[in-house]
Amino acid sequence: MPERQSSLACQACGARFEVHDDRWCCDCGGYLDLEFEARIDPAVLAGRPWGMWRYREAIPIDFGQEPVSFGEGATPLVPMNWEGRLVYVKLEMLFPTGSFKDRGASVAMTRAVGMGVRRVVEDSSGNAGCAASAYAALAGLDCEIFVPGDASAAKVSQVAAYGARVVRVEGTREDAARAARASVTSGTYYASHVWDPFFLHGTKTMAFEIWEQLGGLVPDMLLVPTGNGSLLLGAYLGFSDLRRQGLARRLPRLVGVQAAECAPLVRRFRDEPHRGAWGPTRADGIAVADPLRWKQILASVWDTGGDIVEVTEQQIDRAQEAAARRGLLIEPTSAAGLAAIEVVSPPGDACVVVPLTGHGLKSLRE
């Protein structure tokens, strides 16, 4: 590992560990973040092909290591007329497995290979499991994906198609996560899109692409479907890297979008109590009742002057149908970001970007 990767830092107790330490959490049980100095040189970028690994100096992987990569990234940023106003949609569903989670999986599996492990474990009800399975297959690693009993049949089938072993856990999404963590032994990499900080340094590359695609500018607002927060936190990291190096003067307003049927971040952001269980939502990618990094998510939103909003199932359905009429087949979780436009009502002259996080082929209903 290069010297610029300083340490893994616990956000609960402040403990620090060597960056190559084989651990997925602190001894106190807190999650870890990566202290890392990213570097982006526009002159160097000019001579490189498009793709997320063009930002190699901003990704915390040893330069001597070959990335586990399909050449992913460089997803189009497309202007679109949405209900009478101009928005930009970032087509994150155009990845090998059909979602933005491939960004994080590429970095996580590259690190796993560098650490010399032969087995990776992830818990996921959908897209993260698909991404981990595909990139583990590319890397030649054994892979187990723990899923709750109500996981999407289509996504579970996709996981299995890559050769991963699917472990069904009766109970909730949280029960599946606990079972996955309990299975982690020496020589196993816990490729969690929630716990693994390297995953976030993959999703942050979306911010770099948006910055380049807008001609070296950042949008005024980014509407991000948010459950565990891996894309929102990645966007915050990426745009912060750009500002730290003087390549951007400000951060975009980050707006986390949740389904009204499962909106714990909205309640925490508004400091409102919630009683009872959350209901089901078609936006299963953001149906997370207790996000691990909720404090970090809220801090990122506050720092950008952003917001966390909720959209109804009816609004999600309408947005999904409207996107399809414009030629964009997206899953309900993606549609939540577009549905939030009418909730937020951005100024007419604002540059608004909505990442379309997952492909609609994953969620087609007969």
| Residue whose structure tokens are 């996504």 | 155
Q: Are 100 and 70 in contact (CB under 8 A)?
A: no
Q: How far apart, in Å, do the first and last CA atoms of the chain sit?
A: 49
Alpha helices in 214-260 (DSSP H): 230-244
> CA angle, 281 as apex, 31 and 199 as ends, to 5°?
30
Q: How confident is the model at residue 275 (pLDDT cuts 50, 70, 90)?
A: confident
Strand bridging mode 77-82 / 165-169: unpaired
Per-residue pLDDT reduced to its tens digit, 170-226: 988 888 999 999 999 888 999 999 999 999 999 999 999 999 999 999 999 999 999
What pLDDT is recorded for position 3?
Answer: 44
Cα dihedral 264, 128, 53, 6 sign: positive
**355 phi/psi in degrees, rounded to 5:** -75, 125
**CATH number attached to the domain at 101-198:** 3.40.50.1100
What pLDDT is recorded for position 5?
Answer: 52
Q: How confident is the model at residue 241 (pLDDT cuts 50, 70, 90)?
A: very high
Nearest to 223 by CA among 186, 200, 253, 189: 253
Per-residue pLDDT reduced to its tens digit, 302-357: 999 999 999 999 999 999 999 999 999 999 999 999 999 999 999 999 999 999 99
What pLDDT is recorded for position 84?
Answer: 92
DSSP string, 76-142: -EEEEEETTEEEEEE-TT-STTSBTHHHHHHHHHHHHHHHT-SEEEEE-SSHHHHHHHHHHHHHT-E
Q: How confident is the model at residue 1 (pLDDT cuts 50, 70, 90)?
A: very low
HSE, side-chain direction, 13 A CA sphere, residue 92:
32
Please, which residues bridge with residue 256 across strands?
A: 224, 308
If DSSP codes are grouped into helix, strand and coil, which group holds residue 217?
coil
Q: Are 362 and 335 in contact (CB under 8 A)?
A: no
pLDDT score of 15 more than 80: yes
What is the architecture of the domain spanning 77-96+200-362?
3-Layer(aba) Sandwich (3.40)
Share of the chain above pLDDT 70, in %: 98
If DSSP codes are grouped into helix, strand and coil, which group holds residue 347?
coil
Domains 77-96+200-362 and 101-198 share a fold: yes
For residue 266, the surrounding DSSP H or E stretch is helix 264-270
Segments making up each domain of the chain, as ranges: 1-37, 77-96+200-362, 101-198
366 vs 185, more confident? 185
pLDDT score of 4 more than 70: no
Q: How remote is the C-alpha of 140 from its chain's centroid? A: 23
Per-residue pLDDT reduced to its tens digit, 59-116: 999 888 999 999 999 999 999 999 999 999 999 999 999 999 999 999 999 999 999 9
